[in-house]
Structure 1
Amino acid sequence: MFGTSAPAGAVSTSASSAVLMDAGSGRVLFEEDMHTPRPIASITKLMTALVAVEETSDLSQVITVEPEWLEGVEGSSLYLKAGDQLTLETLLYGLLLQSGNDAAQVIACWIGEDLEGFAQLMNEKARELGMSNTHFTNPSGLNQEEHYSSAYDMALLACACLENPTVASICATQNISLEGRTFVNHNKLLWLEEDCVGMKTGYTEASGRTLVSAATRGAQTLVCVTLNDPDDWDDHQALLHYGFDTYPVTQLCGEGTAVGQAAVAGSVQPTVSLVAQGDCWFPLAEGEQLDMQLDVYSPLTAPIPAGTQVGTARWILDGEVVAEMPVETGTGVEDDRWKPNALVRWWMGLWGKSWETTVPGMGLI
């Protein structure tokens, strides 16, 4: 994930830590003490859900609650009892909408065999995502000294959750009834903010109010995280509006669009057009400009088929690479140096001639 922090803007929060991130690029648009580890409460459950879905793709599996899985459960609950049978899907909705701590423990013990085993999976995923100021010891977020994360790390996790269709869909659900149980999402932003697409609330006495939210407007998705913020609903709305209004995304390239040319040896065609392999967007404030650098892996020699990946386009802001996209040949290039008309076509290409001419014995050029 590329990105660079934006300059400080005219916005603030009541949080101990906060971050606003463009999900597509990873660019930080606003931050306050975003790398400090803090208690995070129930926003932990985003990691619980992501690990569960990645470990077990079949959400229709029925889980029978074992009595030992409910030991030590406190706080918000689905009021599960030993012997209850629920699908993994129902437990995940109860986990993310109603914030059931018992659902978290049941999922963790069913997948990881015990809480320690599941916490190990959570920490492995955290390392994979680059969450360097994070350590998990339980699946629910209840206070433990070695259970913590930072606002920035939770934004990385939120981006990963948005890329998982199952987790993203559950987080965006306002309410649902499954297996005789009705769950209403604790995230009020789903009703307050029309662009909101999730994600998770949290609270303990030690952590204060914690909140992860995401919103999508057009081609842009923003992620906002606040830790220990007594005014989180208002702060998130203000930050999301600030991000969309101040840092709208600009399309840097589209799939198949030309981004430059490269020299070709071994052909009378001196260059080949290079096109982007995909779409690339980046948030830019008014007045900001990117420089593009086109790097070709090695000197190109004909023949080269169309669609051959030959390099990378990189966009640079203030000396830092903030986005990149593989590039490929837009057309094929033949080794045609010894074919009839090659010398004439080379000469015309060299001098930029555009007219048609006839050479005796060689036909129309």
Structure 2
Amino acid sequence: MTKKLSFIFIFIFTLIIFSNGVVVYGSPVIPEVSAPNAVLIDYTTGKVLFDKNAHEITYPASTTKVMTAILVLENANLNDVITVTDDLYVDGSSMYLLKGESFTVKELLQTLLIRSANDVAEVFAVHISGSVEAFAELMNKRAKELGALNTHFTNPHGLPDENHVTTAYDLAVIAKHAMTFDLFREIVSTERLTLEPTEFTPETRYYRNTNRFLWGTGGGNQILHNGAYTNVKYDIIDGIKTGYTNDAGNCLITSASVDGQRLIAVVLGAQGLNVYADSRALIDYGYDNFQLVQLAEKDLLKTTTPIEAGVEENASLYIAESLDVVIPKNVDITSINEEIIIYENIKAPILSGDALGKVIYSIEDEVIGETSLVIKDAIDKKTLFKKILIPSKLLIGFIIIFILWQIFVISLRFKRKRARNIYGRRYSSYKFNKSIIKPLFYKKK
């Protein structure tokens, strides 16, 4: 009896796996995150892959400086030199700028993101908006434009303020935009920064990135991951920003890139090095369970369609926008179905860029994405006037042959006229040779 049950079990298991090529997909193991707020998104599509209280309002601490950096990149000239006009003291991490010191915008931006210098954040606020308060208004305006709808900033650095709040999801959205800047990506992946002495500060400034993912090895930099202790340093991670205050706890925005797929994780309110353990758990969960697939490429010629009453009989249809989707990693991409739909009653005139159809992609009965099919070149409407003025190729050929034949006849008669004039005979002027077209209109009886 036992052997019989074993055989039945093996048979059913084999049938499930191989019958008709269908694969049964298991649910991924959800990572354990100790922090109260966390989110994981795909950078390319913005799809949320993990959510733990991601829309709950909380404090951002120095992750705020990602928003500050965006405004610097969008509103300041990197080569401009900023001179400190007042003695500055801002609590927390600082560059300790002195009155009279001068640095380029780029140098200060590096210090803002690597050193997490609060005094630099205020220098930028005054440089761009004239005051911290006016800069905070600009921060809030830009945050809303980016889709961070539950965020409200009161300062450029993230020092404690009960009205200075955000969410894990909002920070992911802000970080996603920040990573579109080449210089931002370069800075946040930099392990160390060196600034030469100035007239007011004779010592060389050495700063190590506050993000231990870039350098944390050895004692004091160990985290528990998959049941074993390992270094915080993780080679696939290339940024982004840390933060800490007593009220906010440990905060971290993380970016990782593997084989062209970038993930962004946000962890807020963690305790100690758990911020790195939580962030790594999210990043690994993303790469272990999801894949980025390009379904359609922009400007790719997809198909053609007839055009009613157009000067062109057919129109070429192109992919309007590239379409990337994130799907479970154990889904076979060859199982993705593609359906091309052409709209009905397509009549000229048609403008360049008009959508004449769409492509829908699905797995079984679930739609996973779609993109429009557009025309690149406008097609005018065919009118009666154009029909008269635009003869067929056959008629054009006939006209050309007729003209050449008449030229030949004229030339021949001209030669005969000259010959007759030599003998004093009169020669009548050229007359249209009706015999050329007579066969076209009269039939032999």
Normalising by the smaller structure, the TM-score range is: 0.7 to 0.9
Q: How many pairs were matched up?
A: 331
Structure 2 counterpart of 1:23, from 43, 55, 70: 43
Query: Are 1:327 and 2:373 matched, yes or no?
Result: yes
What residue in structure 1 maps to residue 405 of structure 2? none
State the one-letter code of the partner of 2:145: E
Task: Tell me the amino acid that sits aligned with residue 292 of structure 2.
Answer: V
Match of 2:225 in 1: none
Matched, 1:193 2:234: yes
Gaps spanning 5+ residues in structure 2: where? 1-26, 198-204, 216-232, 395-445
Q: Deviations over 1:281-304 (max 9, x none)?
A: 211113497676767788544576
Aligned with residue 106 of structure 1, among 118, 123, 140: 123
Residues 213 and 224 of structure 1 are in contact (CA less than 8 Å); yes or no, is this contact kept in structure 2? yes
Match of 2:20 in 1: none
Identify the residue that residue 54 of structure 1 maps to in structure 2.
74
What do residues 73-92 of structure 1 show as CA deviations (whole Å, max 9, x unaligned)? 10011111222211111111
In structure 1, C-alpha distance between the alignment counterparts of 2:311 and 2:164, rounded to whole Å: 64
Q: Equivalents in 2 of 1:302, 1:196: separation in Å?
A: 53
Task: Select between 246-255 and 186-195 the one with higher mean Cα deviation.
Answer: 186-195
CA distance in 1 between partners of 2:148 and 2:108 (Å): 26
The reply to whether residue 38 of structure 1 matches residue 58 of structure 2 is yes
- Relative to structure 1, is the Cα distance of residues 258 and 145 closer, same or farther in structure 2, using a 3 angstrom cutoff? same
For 2:80, give the aligned amino acid.
Q
Distance 1:10 1:265, change over 3 A: same
Q: In the alignment, what sits opposite 2:228? A: none
From 115, 136, 139, give the equivalent of 2:153. Answer: 136
| Partner-residue secondary structure (3-state), 2:270 | coil
Q: Quick check: 2:361–2:370 contact (8 Å CA) kept in 1?
A: no
The alignment partner of 1:284 has SS state of: strand
The Cα of 1:212 is off from its aligned counterpart by 0.2
Q: Does 1:163 align with 2:180?
A: yes
Partner secondary structure for residue 59 of structure 1: coil
* CA-to-aligned-CA distance 1:1-60 (integer Å, 9 cap, x gap): xxxxxx88521211111000001111000110000010110000000110111111x212
Q: Report if the CA contact (8 A) 2:81-2:105 is conserved.
A: yes
Paired position in structure 2 for 1:183: 207
Query: How far is 1:258 from its partner?
Result: 3.9
Aligned letter for 2:151? T
Q: 1:247 aligns with which of 290, 296, 300?
A: 290
TM-score of the superposed pair, with normalisation by structure 1: 0.80
Task: Select between 313-322 and 186-195 the one with higher mean Cα deviation.
Answer: 313-322
Change (3 A) 1:299 1:48: farther
Give the match's secondary structure for 1:146: coil
Note closer, same or farther for the CA distance 1:220–1:113 as it changes in structure 2 (3 Å cut): same
1:321–1:141 distance in 2 versus 1, CA, 3 Å? farther
Structure with greater proportional helix content: 2
Preserved contact between residue 296 and residue 310 of structure 1 (Cα < 8 Å) = no
Give deviations 1:290-330, integer Å, cap 9, x for gaps.
6767677885445769xx32227465779998655453337
326-335 vs 194-203, which moves further = 326-335
Q: Is the 8 A contact 1:25 1:323 kept in 2?
A: no
Answer yes or no: is the 8 Å Cα contact 1:292–1:313 preserved in 2.
Answer: no
Look up the SS of the partner of 1:50 in the other structure: helix
Contact between 1:43 and 1:201, CA under 8 Å: does it hold in 2? yes
Are 2:67 and 2:139, in contact at CA under 8 Å, matched by a contact in 1? yes
Contact in 2 for aligned 1:267/1:302 (Cα 8 Å): yes
Indicate conservation of the 8 Å contact 1:93/1:183, yes or no: no
Tell me which of 350, 354, 358 is aligned to 1:310: 354
Matches within 5 A, 1:1-365: 9-56=29-76, 58-67=77-86, 70-71=88-89, 73-180=90-197, 181-191=205-215, 192-230=233-271, 231-266=274-309, 272-285=315-328, 286-287=330-331, 299-301=345-347, 308-311=352-355, 313=358, 325-329=371-375, 339=392
TM-score, normalised to structure 2, is 0.66
- Aligned-residue identity in percent: 33
> Per the alignment, do residues 294 and 114 of structure 1 end up closer, same or farther by CA in structure 2, a change over 3 Å counting?
farther
Say which SS state the counterpart of residue 265 (structure 1) adopts: coil
Letter in 2 for 1:175: R
- Structure 1, gaps ≥5 residues long: 1-6, 342-365
Q: Deviations over 1:216-252 (max 9, x none)?
A: 1223111100101221212222211221221111111
Compute the displacement of 1:254 (Å): 1.8
C-alpha offsets along residues 121-171 of structure 1, whole Å, 9 cap, x if unaligned?
100111101111100000110010100100000000011101122222221
User: Relative to structure 1, is the Cα distance of residues 293 and 158 closer, same or farther in structure 2, using a 3 angstrom cutoff?
Assistant: farther
How far off its partner does 1:109 sit?
Answer: 1.5
